[in-house]
Structure 1
Amino acid sequence: MVVPGGVDPAEARTAREYVALLRRLKEHSGLTYRQLEQRAAERDEVLARSTLADTLRRDALPRAEVVAALARACGAGDDVPEWIAARERLAAGEVPATDGTDPAPDGTDQEPEPPNEPPEPSDPRRGRTAVTAALVSLGTVVLLTVGAVTLLPQDDGTENTKSAATPTTSGYSRVRPARAPELCLTDGNVRVEGESKLLAVQRPCAEAVPPRVYLQGADDGRYQIQFRHPEHGTGCLTVLGDGVFKGTLEPWGDCRAGGNSQWFRVERADGSDRWRLRSAQDDALCVGVRGSAEEAGAAVVAEHCAERGGDDQVFLIGRE
């Protein structure tokens, strides 16, 4: 079966190839992201252009409903069953043989776990792009600048004596703004100019789990801030570089796709237990909460380190 544009989803042997075929389908349609969004809306389907753009630039399998909506918007509605069947085959680890040989071993199309990450059940086939229908609406969120972080003792009860470059070992952590220690870093639905995304926000700590926050350290002292969800898997906070959500932190299912935009340096702020999170991509950017640091639901952003003083970009980081 070959759909418009000579694109056959059955040819895909990996998630990367599957997404590449979706890009070909979109290119053959000749439609912009906005036009595809409008076509989907005419069928009462949601296909946000920002979500679609993120989906097509990654190598992880997109959600089935996104695939179906995209195929119909591109004029390939009759071929939706083939697209979904190919997706489910890849999600199950089944790879078609093309030359009479046995299929590749299970997992060849799976994304590997982030380096040095301890085992934990997760579903790497699902990204962490916003699923607005499944989230409690937080309303319009003012983009934020982060508060202070205190490093609590290690699990064995001893104080951490590592240097400022590596303040803690990898592990589940609670990240709280110093100006509002009753709030915790978590995810939430953020709406800007009519568009919606699942991003890093701050909410009351009692409402912040799931996901659980995991700090994944590297040998050079950098850290990834991971959101681990029992249903959606692992998402690595990634600084977005353009669009209406520029500067916000989105949990991406692929923890390698964002390069340095997914890594942060943890530095002492003004005391032994207070910390600043600096972007490894741009030393001039620090994690903060735009708007009021005490506002529940405010979005976490990477902003210029010189924009604010005091505790606005300082965090308390403690073991969960």
Structure 2
Amino acid sequence: MVVSGGVNPADARSAGEYVALLRTLKERSGLTLRQLEQRAAERNDVLARSTLADMLRRDALPRAELVTALVRACGAEQELPEWLAARERLAAGEVPSPDGTDTDPETDSPGPPPESPVHGRRRTAYSAAMASLGTVALLAIGTIVLLPENEGDDPTANRAATSPTSGPAPGFSRVRPARAPDLCLTDGDVRMDGTGESKLLAVQRPCAEAVPPRTYLRRAADGRYQIQFHHPRFGPGCLTVLSDGPFQGTLEPWDDCGAGGASQWFHIDEADGKDRWRLRSARDGRLCVGIDGGAKETGAALKAEPCAKPAGDDQMFLITRED
């Protein structure tokens, strides 16, 4: 039986081939990772985009509940039994022979077990926990330059000529907006004006209230940085510039530090010789991180916006190392 526009899960002879067919199913759906996550939620399924990206990148056999959520989100619910039957066959170590009968392979390992479902839900749980503390800000999103979405981007794309030693020292750091040095980079639940929709994003808050999480700068060999939030309970999350949706341009902590490609990397450039820094998107070097709202507004979200020329204080940050 050929299903899903020519994708037949019964053809899979290994876990890797099965995942490749799932990738084809996803591509033919025409949906982004975010759209699939949203469609799964509408069906009461859990399919975090970071978990989905990790699943489709590996050759390990996915768990049945993830397969179910993806197939349903792709609009192929009627074909779900075929997908689950093929998965069960592979999990049992059986592969189809050319004549259509099942045989036991001499060597066909599904590889290491996939990530725990907790991994994919960590940010969701984190968001709920932080919202319960009342860290809610109002966000009025204006026009933001659309970042091109390419879910397969190599995080080394759009590399600028930045010296690996020209930026701030990596490690746990305090990041403060230059216009409001009593505020610090942290996370908070941000609510969209008029819709009530909310999301856990990078915001500025009084430094005494900004920990946890702790901010960690991870520097790559080419001099670019990931900006991570480390929480004692929920673990690390990498700030990711969102490329679509109502929160486009804002920075969301993702628990998968590879799923966002170049959207999770930044150039940190010294701006004026006064130990002040600009955070520039590695995906689009024309975009710098600024503050959405008043520069001194508690709870205001950070967002990627066109870099000011000349550089202004609104896109300047003070970065100091913390042990």
- CA shift, 1:176, in A, is 0.9
Counterpart of 2:301?
A: 299
| Structure 2: gaps (5+ residues) | 96-104, 143-161
Q: How does 1:1-320 map to 2 (within 5 A)?
A: 56-57=52-53, 59=56, 99=105, 101=107, 103=109, 106=112, 109=114, 125-126=119-120, 129-131=123-125, 132-136=127-131, 138-142=136-140, 166-192=166-192, 193-306=195-308, 310-320=312-322
Counterpart of 1:156?
A: none
**Structure 2 length-normalised TM:** 0.61
Give the number of equivalent residue pairs. 272
Whole-angstrom CA distance in 1 between matches of 2:117 and 2:319:
27
Deviations 1:38-80 (A, max 9, x none): 9967x9x6979xx66x66455589999999988898797xx9x
**Is the contact made by 2:9 and 2:21 (CA closer than 8 Å) also made in structure 1?**
yes
Give the structure with the higher percent helix.
Answer: 2
Q: Which SS does the other structure have where 2:315 is aligned?
A: coil
Q: Which SS does the other structure have where 1:260 is aligned?
A: helix
* Shift in CA distance, 67/34, structure 1 to aligned 2, threshold 3 Å: same
Aligned residues with identical type, % of pairs:
54
Q: Which SS does the other structure have where 2:248 is aligned?
A: coil
Amino acid at match of 2:129: A
Counterpart of 1:116?
A: none
- CA shift, 1:226, in A, is 1.4
**Is the contact made by 1:143 and 1:298 (CA closer than 8 Å) also made in structure 2?**
no
Deviations 1:121-175 (A, max 9, x none): x99933654444322251433459xxxxxxxxxxxxxxxxx97962233211111
Amino acid at match of 2:256: D
**Is the contact made by 1:183 and 1:296 (CA closer than 8 Å) also made in structure 2?**
yes
**Is the contact made by 1:29 and 1:75 (CA closer than 8 Å) also made in structure 2?**
no
Whole-angstrom CA distance in 2 between matches of 1:254 and 1:288:
24
The farther-off stretch of 61-70 and 237-246 is: 61-70
| Structure 1: gaps (5+ residues) | 87-93, 111-121, 145-161
Q: Quick check: which has more Rg, 1 or 2?
A: 2
Amino acid at match of 2:120: R
Q: Which SS does the other structure have where 1:312 is aligned?
A: helix
**Is the contact made by 1:173 and 1:214 (CA closer than 8 Å) also made in structure 2?**
yes
